[in-house]
Structure formats: C-alpha cells, structure tokens
Structure 1
Amino acid sequence: MGNDAPDDDGYVHRPSGEPPRQADTSEEFGREGWVLVGMIILGFLVIPTAILVLPAAQGVVRSFGLTLRAAYLALPLVPAFLLGAIAVWSALRSRQS
C-alpha cells in the first residue's frame, strides 16, 4: 500500500523571513529569588526551631492568647500561607513581563 502522507522535506514556513530567536533571559537572581530563599529558610529552619522551643516559651505563647496546642497548629501555617502568597505574586509578576 502507498503512503498517503506528504513528503517532509524539512521546510518550515516563517512569515517574517527571520530565523527564530531565543527569548531574552536574565541570569540575575533578583528580588523574587531572594524572597523565595528567605521563605524557604523560614519554613525549613525558623519555624521548626520555634516548634522545638515552644514548651520552654509557654509564657510568650500565652501572651498571644494561644494555648500550646493552638501554637503547634498555627506555626506551620505561617510559611504555608506565605509561600502561597509568593506563588501568586510570582505568577502575576511573570504575566506583566
């Protein structure tokens, strides 16, 4: 049986007549990168350390009107909400560029 598909000779139509260019990218880390690094440090170092010292800091926890159990539940939510906000900020910022 014959092949009904047209022969592919490698031709690609480019209406502008110019070869494609790679998008301009910046190799700089920038403010967004440093904010993300700060949030990762907060989420992986600061908050776990705070959870470990919570029993010794019950007076501080009570001054915020929280029980120890509520503090154990609320502390991990801080980096979760902040990382979510950074993701939205980053997505909106990338759309503007």
Structure 2
Amino acid sequence: MSTDETDGETYTHRPGSIDNEQSDEDPFTEPEPSGFGAQGWVLVAAVVICFLVIPGVIYLFPAAPTQLGWTFFATFLVLPLIPAVLLGVIAVWSMTAAT
C-alpha cells in the first residue's frame, strides 16, 4: 500500500475502487468465450489437410510427382512448401479476420 499526504489528507490506494464511484460491473470478470468461429474451423481444417492428408498422399503415392515430370530433389523441396504456405496464409487471414 502506498500513502501520500497532501493538505492533511491521507490517500490509500485500494485496487478495484475508482474514485469512490460504485460500478455495477466487476472489473475482474472475463468475457464469455465464443468458441472457434468460422476462422478457427478453417484453420483446423487446414492443419488436418497439411499434417494428415498431404503427407498421407505422399506416403501412399510416392511415384506421383515423378509422373508429373518432377525430379526427386525438386519434389522433396517443393512439397513441404505447399502446406507451409497454406498454413501461413490461413493463419494470417484468421488473425486479421478475428480482430
């Protein structure tokens, strides 16, 4: 506690009180959670696609990129970039849409 004496009066700071005003709202309450929303579910779908679907397709069909004319080296450089870019774009979109 801090006290400050000015003109014979003593000031004592009490957290939660605002200049002797009575407020109906409790300053320590948190807002009600509203859930994921549309942006959250899109982000969850992107995570599932990037961590389960795309690696699963690569695992089940490893020769598919070579049938498209890609070399082995280019395939393993480019394929991880696709989910990374997708997750980055959707994460930025969901954060800007949430604010």
TM range (shorter): 0.5 to 0.7
Partner of residue 76 from structure 1, selected from 80, 83, 86: 80
Unmatched tracts of structure 1, length 5 or more: none
Deviation at 1:11, TM superposition (A): 4.9
Aligned pair in 2 of structure 1 residues 23, 11: CA closer, same or farther (>3 Å)?
Answer: closer
Of Structure 1 and Structure 2, the greater strand share is in 2
Q: How does 1:25-64 map to 2 (within 5 A)?
A: 25-27=33-35, 29-52=36-59, 53-54=61-62, 56-57=63-64, 58-59=66-67, 61-62=68-69
Aligned residues: 86
Partner letter of residue 5 of structure 1?
Answer: S
Q: Out of 79, 87, 92, which is 1:88 matched to?
A: 92
Q: CA RMSD in A?
A: 2.7
Once the two structures are TM-superposed, the CA of residue 16 in structure 1 deviates from its matched residue by 8.0
TM-score of the pair, normalised by structure 1: 0.66
Q: What's the TM-score, normalizing by structure 2?
A: 0.65
Larger Rg, first or second structure (1 or 2): 2
Q: Which has the higher helix share?
A: 1
Q: Distance in 2 between matches of 1:75 and 1:82?
A: 11
% identical equivalent positions? 37
Change in Cα spacing, 1:8 to 1:16, as seen in structure 2 (3 Å) is closer
Is the CA contact (8 Å cut-off) linking 1:51 and 1:72 kept in structure 2? no
**Is 2:13 the partner of 1:5?**
no
Q: Distance in 1 between matches of 2:71 and 2:22?
A: 67
